[in-house]
Amino acid sequence: MTTHFITAEIDLQETPAELLKAIETELNKEGEPLRWAITSVDVDQQKATVEAVVTTVKS
């Protein structure tokens, strides 16, 4: 098992619940999230930057 630090841009959503689902979906593409945080929001472009630590299983 290895850990990776990743950064992802997520489109802002209508509700906090939709935003959470969008973040989880994006992070799960990279591995299993251990922890994550929204580190910035660009209101003009309607994007949130998320930084996360994820684990992946070595093949």
Residue 36 sits at φ, ψ, to 5 deg, of -155, 165
Which DSSP state fits 4? E
Question: Given pLDDT bands bounded at 50, 70 and 90, which one contains residue 58?
Answer: confident
pTM of the entire structure?
Answer: 0.88
| DSSP E strand stretches across 1-59 | 2-11, 32-42, 47-56
Each residue of 18-57: pLDDT tens digit? 999 999 999 999 999 999 999 999 999 999 999 999 999 8
